[in-house]
Amino acid sequence: MEEQEPEELPELANLKVRGRSVKTWVIGASAVVLAVSAAFGGLNKAAAETPPLTAGKAVDAGQFAVTVDRVVTVKHLKPLFQPEPGGALIAIVAKVKVTDDLGTRPPSDLFRLIGVPGIKDTEAPMGTTTIDDETMNPVLTPDVEQQVAFVWKLPKLSELPTEVKVSVQGYKHYDESLLDHHEKWLPDALAGAGTIKVKDNTK
């Protein structure tokens, strides 16, 4: 019997799945992965440095314009917030303005305290309040700047922090979210980060 020539395999680029070439499917899948990654902040600008943050400096966070006024420690903020026994509270006080045309609450990840003993770097504040009328977890009006305190609990420490690193989360607008096909603001790269001195108001 004569040896049969082995059947030539089609090149990968010429293969078709459901009427589309494999190359098209690969490109499409890669685009989806990149889009989903970007939607969850996965494509933070690796090459770009996070803009420096200082007290009194305005920061463009996309959906919000923010200016950190100060960071303070206090014994309590009754009746709104109370620490654990022997502990204290630490608050970022910032001017916050919604740049979108819809009012919204400041998201729980807008600010983070980094490297503070007793507080995880990813920990959200226990709550927020406006300074002028003490409205808890307020809905902010578009284009109206309001002073808001973002409050965390501090455990009982031998010494309160004298300075902390603060980060500001940036947000990017999507006309159509991959998750539900509605327009949304989703986390993007950090809009700013820097070390700010802490004022001790516990005494």
What is the per-residue pLDDT across 92-142, written as a single tens digit (0 to 9) for each? 999 999 999 999 999 999 999 999 999 999 999 999 999 999 999 999 999
Q: Establish if 27 belongs to a structural domain.
A: no
Q: Establish if 134 belongs to a structural domain.
A: yes
Cβ atoms of residues 58 and 65 within 8 Å: yes
- Rounded to an integer, what distance in angstroms lies between the CA atom of residue 163 and that of residue 123? 18
Q: Establish if 33 belongs to a structural domain.
A: no
Q: Establish if 41 belongs to a structural domain.
A: no
Q: Establish if 1 belongs to a structural domain.
A: no
Domain range enclosing 112? 57-201
Report the predicted TM-score, pTM, of the whole model to 2 decimal places.
0.75
Q: Establish if 28 belongs to a structural domain.
A: no
Instruction: Measure the N-to-C terminal CA separation of the chain; round to a whole number of Å.
Output: 100
The pLDDT assigned to 203 comes to: 87
Pick the closest to residue 155 from 198, 105, 119, 107 (CA basis).
Answer: 119
Respond yes or no on whether the N-terminal peptide bond of residue 85 is cis (omega within 30° of 0): no
Q: Establish if 11 belongs to a structural domain.
A: no
Respond yes or no on whether the N-terminal peptide bond of residue 79 is cis (omega within 30° of 0): yes
What is the per-residue pLDDT across 9-65, written as a single tens digit (0 to 9) for each? 445 445 554 555 544 444 444 444 444 444 444 444 433 589 999 999 999 999 999
Q: Establish if 43 belongs to a structural domain.
A: no
Map residue 119 onto helix, strand or coil.
coil
